Structure 1
Amino acid sequence: MFKKILIYFGYTLLFASIAAYLFFSTVLTKEHEAKQVCKSIKVSILDSADNRFVTKDEIIELLKVEGITPNESKLKHINQHFLECILNNRNAIKRTEVSYTREGVLRVDIRQRRPILRIETANGGFYMDETAYIFPLVKTYTSYVPVVSGNVPLTLVQGQRGMAKKNADWAEELKELGLYLYREEFWNSMIEQIYIDEKGILHLTPRIGEQEIIFGHLDNIDYKFKKLYVFYQEVIPAEGWEKYKTIDLQFGNQIVCKKRENKTNNNLNI
């Protein structure tokens, strides 16, 4: 019985000691944080190798505008959530995480939006990212992605950011085309421009050759590109890049080609 009492007392003392340690360490930590000054700012652009829409210097200048400078600002006065909201409001920033270390270093980790298409309209140019989020072009940096122009059925106002409100389904389909081009290395390097005519038909311009690729509507994307790939692998080596003026992918398992010389159609079964 006495042994059980000693064990119980020992456990009680142990838990009390742990609780006291946690309490006093928390108090000391809070006192330390209350006095801690921001000694330095460390900005990390996590995907700077892919895009350079924002720079570390720009972020530090923006923090200065908000009154945050090293060796002056106290960490307890820095509203991390507010800073994240301010930075996330910039065009090309997708997500920001603000934190600080016990040593007084304010950390700002930024991930940029990844454009897959550039859309040119009467109200200016925009990028579309992999989620179909649309944001304005950035003056200091250009991302070289396929350019969409012509009769774009999206109502975009100058400076607009966010998802398309009108014809959202079409925007989603366009995103799928952009993702396909982005993920497929061959087509990512091949397709340069996408023009939309008055009937909503897509016309693709390749970087190599002077053919007009009539893609049709935004359906059967994978199948159409597979047909076109077979054409490039089997027909172009035999006929050359300059023989055909147009390559039409709209007709089932056929590719309809128009020659330059006599405007004669060739129907190729793929």
Structure 2
Amino acid sequence: MKRFNDRPMEKISVKMTKTKNPVYFIDEKEVKELVKKSNPTKKIGDINIPELEKKLNQLPAVDSANVYLNLNGSLNLEIKQRVPAFRLNKDNRDFYVDEKGTEFPTSQNYSFPCMLVMGDVKKSEYVKLAELIQKINHDEFSKRYFIGISKSKDNYDLLTNEGYFNVEIGDLENIDLKVKGFKAFVEKYLIYQQPEKYTKVSVKYDNQIVTTLNPKYKDNDSIIAVGKKELEKLPLIKKKKEEAEKRILNEQKQQPKVIVETKPKTSQPKKEIEKKSPKKVIQKPESKPKGKVKIE
């Protein structure tokens, strides 16, 4: 390769590795500019390939970079870009997270279409959250319903395109079962109801679905009113229960105590069992055998 050392670096080939979802955070022009800056003399012999690879890998949107020279002296660069799993809005910051759980900034020139997540999501939860979103994207039902995710304290909610209610899933465990439960609720019940009737549908509990009614929905007024009346009765019921318990205690205190004396049992002398003498067996005298009489 020494014969190429003094040759000018004229041919630079940049190849962007294809991904399942095409991304365009960096382009060929940007990569070539970086190569030129790293080699001011523009001579092939002055290219520091390990250093150039390091600089390319330090680009936030680059997942991996491979740099090598051909025998003809041309410089080749293979770049693989990061693919966002979701976009996170956290602590007044807005950034992407890939499937490996790596954060990288958004771009002013390009915006990747992905699910928006809001709230105090821990870094240790990034990978599981990416797996959840991947499941949503690969399921037609979930993809049609869920458009975002929010986290409050330790509780996750799936935001729906209906806009009237959220689906509470709690933690990120047993996601398949929780989504399956919500799907059953939609197909067997919600399709016959108005979606604005609810503010929340919770599937965080095992084998049950809990709904929260929307107080602003007119048809819910009578149901909510009955519920409030029942709640208002609770203090009165509690008070009556306490009064009844006090009354029972007072009655027990006023009743005279009855002392029952028990006499000790006198032990009776044991009767002696008379021993019976065994009966004597009287043997009968053996009878002499009679002589046989022969009659002729």
Percent identity of paired positions between Structure 1 and Structure 2:
26
Distance 1:187 1:56 in 2: 36
Task: Please say if residues 64 and 80 of structure 2, whose CA atoms lie closer than 8 Å, have aligned partners that are also in contact.
Answer: yes
**Pairs within 5 Å for 1:118-267:** 118-122=87-91, 124-150=93-119, 152-154=120-122, 164=123, 168=124, 170-188=125-143, 190-198=145-153, 200-260=154-214, 261=217, 262=220
Task: Please say if residues 39 and 104 of structure 1, whose CA atoms lie closer than 8 Å, have aligned partners that are also in contact.
Answer: no
Distance 2:55 2:143 in 1: 34
Judging changes above 3 Å, is the alpha-carbon distance between structure 1 residues 79 and 186 closer, same or farther for their aligned structure 2 residues? farther
Give the drift of 1:257.
2.2
Paired amino acid for 1:38 = M
CA deviations 1:58-101 (Å, max 9, x no partner) are 11122222126xxx733232222211110110111000111232
Give the drift of 1:189.
5.1
Which one of the candidate residues 10, 32, 37 is aligned to 1:65? Answer: 37
Q: State the secondary structure of the residue aligned to 1:64.
A: helix
Q: Please report the RMSD computed on the Cα atoms of aligned residues, expressed in angstroms.
A: 2.6
Distance 1:64 1:229 in 2: 55
Distance 1:173 1:123 in 2: 23
Name the larger-Rg structure. Answer: 2
CA deviations 1:175-228 (Å, max 9, x no partner) are 332333344454345422211113x11112123453211111121111111222
Distance 1:45 1:255 in 2: 47
Judging changes above 3 Å, is the alpha-carbon distance between structure 1 residues 39 and 244 closer, same or farther for their aligned structure 2 residues? same
Judging changes above 3 Å, is the alpha-carbon distance between structure 1 residues 117 and 149 closer, same or farther for their aligned structure 2 residues? same
Q: Which runs of 5+ in 2 are unaligned?
A: 225-296
Calculate the TM-score normalised by the size of structure 2.
0.65
Distance 2:144 2:25 in 1: 21
Give the drift of 1:140.
2.1
Give the stretch that moved more between structures: 50-59 or 178-187.
Answer: 178-187
Paired amino acid for 1:197 = S
Distance 2:51 2:144 in 1: 40
Distance 2:141 2:28 in 1: 33
**Pairs within 5 Å for 1:15-34:** 30-34=1-5
Distance 1:208 1:42 in 2: 48
Task: Please say if residues 249 and 255 of structure 1, whose CA atoms lie closer than 8 Å, have aligned partners that are also in contact.
Answer: yes
Paired amino acid for 1:187 = S
Are 1:53 and 2:25 matched, yes or no?
yes
Give 4+ residue runs of structure 1 displaced > 6 Å after superposition. none
Distance 2:133 2:32 in 1: 33
Q: Larger strand proportion, structure 1 or 2?
A: 1
Paired amino acid for 2:116 = V
Calculate the TM-score normalised by the size of structure 1.
0.70
Paired amino acid for 1:203 = D
Q: Which runs of 5+ in 1 are unaligned?
A: 1-29, 155-163, 266-270
Give the stretch that moved more between structures: 238-247 or 120-129.
Answer: 238-247
